[in-house]
Structure 1
Amino acid sequence: MAALCALIGHVSATASDAPNPFTASDAVPAVPFAQALRFWLKLGFISFGGPAGQIAVMHRELVERRRWISERRFLHALNYCMLLPGPEAQQLATYIGWLMHGPIGGIVAGALFVLPSLVILVGLSWVYMAFGDVAAVAGIFYGIKPVVAAIVLQALWRIGGRTLRDAQGHARPLMASIALAAFVGLAVLGLPFPLVLLLAALAGVVGSRLVPGQFEVSPPPVHLAGARASAPALIDDDTPPPPHARHDRRRVLRVLGIAATLWIGSMALVVSLHGADGTLARMAWFFTKAALLTFGGAYAVLPYVYQGAVEQAQWLTGAQMIDGLALGETTPGPLIMVVAFVGFVGGWTKEVLGESLVLGGVLAACVATWFTFLPSFVFILAGGPLVEATHGQLRFTAPLTAITAAVVGVIASLALFFLVHVLWPGVGAFDAVALVLVLAAAAALLRWRVGVIPVIGAGALAGLLLRLAGWA
């Protein structure tokens, strides 16, 4: 707590003492911190639709409507966040909040992007664990699981389409080979997820020297309407960076020191409850590693979470993992918030607080969320000033480009896992009804471009009706 108070005190002083550098614009008045806080809180409750939808919402609100930041500066921040491990939409909110109001602005923007989702997911996780065996609830989840499989197929189609082709639409055979190798490594050879990413990064280092053209960074995956706002923005193209956004080695070391103190203090706290081999300590260490490996978004890291949480630690089952992803798709916030569900179910199953199953689940969900998102804030607060120094340099971007290609293979292995569990729920028992639901959901998402939430709702209704009719 002392370290947390020190961090808040430091960033509060930075935000209050340093003048806001973005006050000279005649078109847009300076944005008070309280006004920005209200917007970030609102964003936390309306950020549905996955990264693409969340980034589109921020673009509409911040670039087009409020004109707090220009198109070019917005995309520059987005490019940086795309290269980082972690949820790019949450990190983009943190980046813009940091740019506007210093470290405290970044912490508030990033935290409010996550907290509403955490509260909602904890509530839904409790309903799931307490009433999941009720026929109606079981029917709803029966209909949702095929939709989740279709959603992963949609992610594979979209990410593969933009990663395995260049900006002109031409195929990139080397990227396809890396994707195929990643799929074989995970789905066939059973290699650990971190090793797959490491091998992809090494391929990027070597490939950037042999065939550098194959590793040029593609345009951002989110197509945003409009070239730029028609009027000058508060943070415009030529607005100089504020003092806190300029590189300062002492400031970077201070941020890293505070973050390390927070991590060590938090880890010591969970270890003190049940020891280093206890469930909470294992969760803290596991989700810290997961946070550093989430290149390519939540779909890319889910196989790693599955390996650790389902196969190794046995905090939950494979079927529960699919249900958790379904709940994550229906709530606002980044999809990686599924870690809160994993933590809740693990805390409940392992009885981390004895007979207080609900409190144990809530505590474990908070532990999973804290250790997953702490690195995201460090990347922005410590790394933001270094963006200009490394932006566009192939030696930095090539390994990440190769990792992005490997992510396509990772998501393909995840899609295979979901399809197997949905279509063959029992040994040798093929579920033809589930196949029909998968195909219908995939057609709605890919052919008719129906939104994720309506498709999930239709799947839940279909599952409920099928269960009541005795067909599922």
Structure 2
Amino acid sequence: MNNSAPSRLGELAKLFFKLGVIGFGGPVAHIAMIEDEVVKRRQWLTREHFLDLLGATNLIPGPNSTEMAIHVGYVYAGWLGLIVSGVCFILPAVLITGGFAWVYVTYGTLPQVAPLLYGIKPAVLAIILNSLWGLAKKAVKTRQLLVIALGVALLAFLWKQQEVIALLIGGLLGMIWLHSGDKDDKSKVNLALASLTTSATFKATAASAVVTTTSTVPLWQLGGFFLKVGSVLFGGGYLLIAFLQGELVQEYGWLTQQQLLDAIAIGQFTPGPVLSTATFIGYIIAGVPGAIVSTIGIFLPSFLFVAALNPLIPRLRSSSWTKAFLDAVNVSAVALMVVTTLQLGYATLIVQKAPYIDFLAVAIAITSAVLAISFRANAAWLVLGGALIGWSASIVGYI
């Protein structure tokens, strides 16, 4: 491998642009793809280092998978690598979303991609499972960490606790329990878990509207709104929806309810980070300039947060207290990925009528898992194969 700076930057650009193109399935899937490429295939990072980055990233605002891409770029090629990896990972989603925005504003409709997504989702499920197995083996080092992982999973699955709160609780309890070595602290864990309150989830309701473009919104105000969102966005897509609904629809009136729902749909069926929804919304509100300022505003904080956080991670390992905290956060992050994967699996493989199992989706998932685990098939080929099967299934009338 050529270790020159231009060569490393080229490798980063090629890798993360590819991942941006094939990155369907949300942040958990993106992280699984990144782990497969940079840990298993290229060995740019050890799995332990990757877990440290993942645990720390879950504690700061912004899109986790984008920030993981930025972390890897910084570790592999310094400051320029940080910029190149982040931009190349984001760019495909931004370009695709911008194209859909133009079609939407021009023709008032969205393209039909459901058949492709039908086949892609079970393939992505297999990619996630392959990555999770390796991450879990490294993260669950002790029985205490296993207990913490189970507790965090229960918080997220049963009590719907917000992700960052669950991570912080897992990290703090782990820091006390693992550092002290006092088995009686298990009661403190149970007491703390039992005392938690649930987080409310936000659901948008549909309302009829026509596609219109607001031409009077100042660009600085639009960019400032998305800069604020990118700076405080914990909790992923649900919180993003809450921000958009509360301010852009209700307070400012820049978007209609239907436009918001269509923007969310675009974010779900395009590859790459879901925050590229900002590009779609910016275009609807203020054309190409609006798309540009909205995109820069929502993603810029992630670059700044990672630049500030990355140099601190080795120091976290040097203290026994922070090392215990980081170990607990790492295993908590894996637990949250497991919960998300279970939810994705249910939505992908289960149908609402007899026989209640989508056998074609199950077959795609099993085949993809075998190819990924036994033959180390690249995620790009699995995604492409799933899309082709979904397209074929729609032609023969299966879906």
Q: So what's the TM-score if we normalise by structure 2? A: 0.67
Summarize the alignment of residues 418-429 of structure 1 with structure 2, pairs less than 5 Å apart.
Answer: 418-424=344-350
**Contact 2:36–2:131, Cα closer than 8 Å, also in 1:** no
* Residue number in structure 2 paired with 1:232: none
CA displacement at 1:75 relative to structure 2: 10
Please list, as runs of the form range in 1=range in 2, the aligned pairs for 1:2-401 lying within 5 A after superposition.
Answer: 36-37=5-6, 39-47=8-16, 48=19, 49-54=33-38, 81=53, 84-85=56-57, 87-88=67-68, 90-95=70-75, 97=77, 106-127=78-99, 130=103, 133-135=110-112, 137-164=113-140, 166=141, 172-211=142-181, 273=219, 281=224, 283-290=226-233, 304-310=235-241, 313=244, 322-324=268-270, 327-328=271-272, 338-347=273-282, 351-353=284-286, 356=287, 360-380=290-310, 383=311, 387=314, 391-401=317-327
Partner residue, 2:342: 416
Distance 1:181 1:319 in 2: 32
CA contact (8 A) 2:148 2:328 kept: yes
Distance 1:285 1:78 in 2: 28
Of residues 366, 369, 389, the one that matches 1:462 is 389
SS in 1 for 2:285: coil
State the match for 1:266 in structure 2: none
* Distance in 2 of aligned mates of 1:364 and 1:77: 33
Going from structure 1 to structure 2, the CA distance change for 1:142 and 1:374 (only over 3 Å counts) comes to: same
SS of 1:352's equivalent in the other structure is: helix
> Matches of 2:308 and 2:365 in 1, distance apart?
39
Question: Does the C-alpha gap of structure 1 residues 343 and 134 become closer, same or farther in structure 2, counting only changes over 3 Å?
Answer: closer
SS at match of 1:94: helix
Per-residue CA distance 1:220-267 (angstroms, 9 max, x = gap): xxxxxxxxxxxxxxxxxxxxxxxxxxxxxxxxxxxxxxxxxxxxxxxx
| d(CA) in 1 for partners of 2:345, 2:8 | 39
Partner residue in 1 for 2:211:
none
| Structure 2 letter corresponding to 1:379 | L
C-alpha displacement at 1:43, in angstroms? 2.3
Pair 40,437 (structure 1): closer, same or farther in 2 beyond 3 Å: same
Structure 2's unaligned 5+ residue stretches are: 20-32, 58-63, 184-216, 246-259
Shift of 1:466: 0.9
- Separation in structure 2 between the aligned mates of residue 108 and residue 126 of structure 1, nearest angstrom: 26
**Mean Cα displacement is larger for which, 139-148 or 401-410?**
139-148
Could you tell me how far 1:90 is from its partner in structure 2? 3.2
| Change in 2 beyond 3 A, CA 1:363/1:433 | farther
The question of whether the paired residues in 1 share the 8 Å contact of 2:170 and 2:329 is answered with: yes
Is the Cα contact below 8 Å between 1:283 and 1:367 reproduced in 2?
yes
The alpha-carbon distance between structure 1 residues 344 and 432, as it changes in their structure 2 partners (threshold 3 A), is farther
Gaps of 5+ in 1: 1-27, 61-70, 98-105, 167-171, 214-270, 294-303, 329-337
The letter of the residue matching 1:434 is A
Larger Rg belongs to: 1
Q: Is the 8 A contact 1:152 1:414 kept in 2?
A: no
Please report how far the alpha carbon of residue 83 of structure 1 lies from its aligned counterpart in structure 2 after TM superposition: 6.2
Q: What CA distance in whole angstroms lies between the structure 2 residues aligned with 1:435 and 1:459?
A: 12
Percent identity of paired positions between Structure 1 and Structure 2: 16
1:107 positional shift: 2.8
Partner of 2:206: none
TM-score, length-normalised on structure 1? 0.57
Q: Is the 8 A contact 1:152 1:415 kept in 2?
A: yes
Aligned-partner residue type, residue 269 of structure 2: D
Question: Residues 146 and 92 from structure 1, CA distance in 2 versus in 1: closer, same or farther, beyond 3 angstroms?
Answer: closer
Distance 1:470 1:152 in 2: 29
Query: Cα–Cα, structure 1 residues 45 and 76, in superposed 2: closer, same or farther, change >3 Å?
Result: same
Asked if structure 2 preserves the Cα contact closer than 8 Å seen for 1:147 and 1:456, the reply is yes
Separation in structure 2 between the aligned mates of residue 343 and residue 112 of structure 1, nearest angstrom? 21
**Corresponding position of 2:208:** none
- Counterpart residue number, 1:252: none
- CA RMSD after TM alignment: 3.8
Alignment partners' CA distance in 2, 1:281 and 1:406: 33
Aligned residues: 321
Note the C-alpha offset of 1:287. 2.8
